[in-house]
Amino acid sequence: MTTYDYAQLEGLWVQAGGPRPLAPLMAAIAMAESGGDSEAENPSGATGLWQILGDPFPGNALDPLTNAKMAVAKYHSQGLGAWTTYTSGAYKQFMKGSVPPQGGNIQTTAASGGGGGLSTVWNPLPWLPGGIPFIAGTAASVADVGTAVGQLSNDVSTFLGWISWLFVPSHWIRIICFILGVPLVGIGIGVMVKGSQPIPVSAMGVSTEISGGSIAPAMGIAEVTAGAVLLFIAFHNLPSEVQTFPQLMSYMQSKVSTGVSSKVGPGPKAPVI
């Protein structure tokens, strides 16, 4: 069994072609996944330093460098979410941002498929341990930036859609009808229920009760009907040319006229002589 420390894991990640700023994070993930044991195997089938499950290309996942290349391939295809120790935050206890990768100032890159030889790339800043500090410190969320930006764009588009909805004149008519219709229905129901009950009246020191009147239920029904009509308008898609209440009344009148004429139907046919 070969056990790798934090710096060696960073070096393997860089040597396998992984982004250098992510080396501290990926070393912490490997420590959380396998404890640095290159021969670690999980009953689920996950294997090696980065516990690769489902080899992205043919190869021996127990070989440290091959396992690192597979981890790089997994990162490019699935992002950091491929490791549950990242999504759960278990890697954080192993995170060390100031440990330089073991392997000198020459870092190597390879295709994510793991095939072919390695090509050397000169590191112009060897005196900066772990790469550029401010990049290394924020690289943990690089893979999630695209998703976050996409979600933000969707939210902004939805919000702008709501705002633009408010600037359509016919929608303002619907909003006003809703605001007026709800209380009118409530008042009408209250009038129907309590309108016919005696109403206490006090004048010049004399208290008495007067009848609510038999007209109260009829008034309540009228108010509920008017409120229901307003709510129907509020939840009905109006044509774009309806922009004022007079235009609304003309539109409703034309609808009523069309309905009446369709119910009347054609007149009687003339007798054939």
- Tens digit of each residue's pLDDT (9 = 90 or more) over 21-48: 888 999 999 999 999 999 999 898 899 9
Domain assignment of residue 39, yes or no: yes
More confident of the two residues 172 and 38: 38
* Run of H or E residues at 167: none
Domain assignment of residue 10, yes or no: yes
State the burial class of residue 104 (Cβ atoms within 10 Å of its Cβ: 0-12, 13-18, 19+): exposed
Q: Same domain for 188 and 108?
A: no
Beta-carbon contacts of residue 48 (< 8 Å; ≥ 6 apart): 34, 38, 39, 40, 41, 61, 62, 63, 64, 67, 70
Question: Per residue in 205-264, pLDDT tens?
Answer: 666 655 555 667 788 888 889 988 888 888 777 676 777 777 777 877 777 777 655 555
**Residue range of the domain that includes 234:** 168-200+211-261
Domain assignment of residue 270, yes or no: no
- Number of domains the chain is built from: 2
Q: Same domain for 90 and 178?
A: no
